């Protein structure tokens, strides 16, 4: 296996953790023949970008992209895989809860002929609520929504860069279930996990719920079948209630109307999610816009579209 390796490090307000991540990664991967560390700054509002720039000045292996604003994790992955310069890319969060030494476990498994290797965090050291929520989400995805989600897969993963680009170009809301969807050869291997020592997790409950909706409605049409079944049952129930109401008191008719109204609202809400999904798939808005980088950028990824233009006019000096 060609071990030319890009380490993709997403950053959003990571502060001093930038230097820590760089030092640990360089030490753990010093035996890699060809290495680059690609920081993708997702519109940080702290000094993360300044720290990354200083690292790039002293270490030619450090490359970076910085977005014009916070575009989100999916945009970071899309940009990172697009600008990764080496045949393999490993995604490693700046908090380093998975020790960088575990990258060697992923590389060893990939050498067996896989395109993607996910790390399964053994003895996960996240809060109980986070662990329970993740387990529940994976269970619901597989059992309720019928989504082929690799068991135990996490965002700590090694990917053949060309395969990663193919997947991200599909603009799907989740990377993990997209891997089996395109038929990539993948494996899951156990890796160590340690508590977060700096900063705070960027995934809050509301954001986690949003990710769950993206997964369920982005990869499964099964909820629509439930809507159709519920609508059919509602029609039958409404007919029965209306028939009873014709021979009895008016409240039965009111119950039928309320039931139909509730079912209609639920159906409209759910259908709206799928309309949103279809619109997103045809969305022409950019997934991200890069403000600063030390790598050559494609024109479409910049704010000016590759057209710098002249400076603004200035007042001529007084005579």
What pLDDT, on a 0 to 100 scale, did the predictor assign at position 30? 94
Q: Bridge partners of 311? A: none
pLDDT > 90? residue 11? yes
Specify the higher pLDDT residue, 2 or 88.
Answer: 88
Q: pLDDT at position 130, please?
A: 72
- Average model confidence (pLDDT) across the chain: 83
* pLDDT classification of 21: cutoffs 50, 70, 90: very high
Could you give the 3-state DSSP secondary structure of residue 124?
coil
List alpha helices for 121-250, DSSP H: 128-139, 161-168, 178-182, 205-219, 222-247
Residue 135 has a pLDDT of: 78
Residues 240-296 pLDDT 10s: 666 665 545 556 556 666 666 666 766 666 666 666 666 665 566 788 999 999 999
pTM: 0.78
Question: Are 187 and 255 within 8 A, CB to CB?
Answer: no
pLDDT at site 80: 97
Q: With 80 as the cut, is the pLDDT of residue 94 above it?
A: yes
Residues 151-156: what's their mean pLDDT?
A: 90
Q: Considering only 21-30, 167-176, 195-204, 285-294, which range has the smallest mean pLDDT?
A: 195-204
Are the CB atoms for 170 and 98 separated by under 8 Å?
no
- The 290-293 sheet, strands edge to edge: 186-191, 116-121, 157-160, 88-91, 5-11, 35-41, 62-67, 290-293
- Measured CA angle at 211 (ends 208, 215), to 5 deg: 140
- In this model, does residue 35 exceed pLDDT 60? yes
Task: Identify the pLDDT of residue 172.
Answer: 82
Q: Note the pLDDT of residue 304.
A: 85
| pLDDT at residue 82, as a whole number | 96
Give the orientation angle of helix 251-281 with respect to helix 205-219, to 10 degrees. Answer: 80
pLDDT score at 89: 98
Statement: residue 122 has pLDDT above 70? yes
* Residue 60 banded pLDDT, cuts 50, 70, 90: very high
Residue 256 structure tokens? 């039928």
């Amino acid at each position: 296996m060609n071990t030319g390796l890009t380490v993709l490090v997403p950053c959003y307000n990571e502060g001093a953790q930038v230097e820590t991540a760089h030092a640990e990664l360089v030490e753990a991967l010093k035996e890699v023949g060809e290495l680059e560390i690609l920081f993708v700054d997702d519109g940080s509002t702290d000094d993360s970008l300044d720290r990354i720039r200083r690292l790039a000045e002293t270490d030619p292996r450090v490359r970076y992209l910085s977005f014009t604003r916070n575009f989100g994790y999916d945009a970071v992955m899309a940009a990172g895989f697009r600008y990764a310069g080496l045949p393999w890319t490993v995604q490693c969060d700046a908090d380093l809860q998975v020790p960088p030494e575990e990258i060697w476990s992923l590389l060893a498994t990939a050498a067996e002929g896989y395109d993607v290797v996910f790390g399964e965090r053994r003895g996960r050291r996240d809060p109980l609520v986070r662990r329970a929520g993740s387990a529940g989400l994976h269970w619901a995805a597989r059992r309720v929504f019928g989504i082929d989600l690799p068991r135990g897969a996490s965002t700590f993963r090694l990917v053949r860069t060309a395969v990663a680009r193919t997947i991200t170009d599909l603009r799907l809301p989740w990377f993990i279930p997209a891997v089996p969807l395109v038929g990539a050869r993948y494996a899951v291997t156990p890796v160590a996990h340690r508590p977060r020592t700096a900063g705070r997790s960027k995934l809050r409950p509301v954001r986690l719920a949003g990710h769950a909706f993206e997964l369920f409605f982005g990869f499964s049409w099964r909820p629509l079948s439930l809507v159709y079944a519920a609508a059919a049952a509602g029609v039958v129930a409404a007919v029965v209630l209306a028939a009873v109401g014709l021979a009895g008191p008016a409240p039965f008719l009111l119950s039928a109307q309320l039931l139909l109204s509730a079912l209609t609202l639920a159906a409209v809400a759910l259908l709206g999610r799928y309309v949103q999904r279809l619109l997103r798939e045809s969305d022409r808005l950019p997934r991200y816009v890069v403000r600063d980088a030390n790598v050559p950028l494609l024109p479409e990824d910049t704010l000016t579209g590759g057209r710098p233009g002249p400076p603004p006019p200035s007042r001529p000096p007084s005579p």
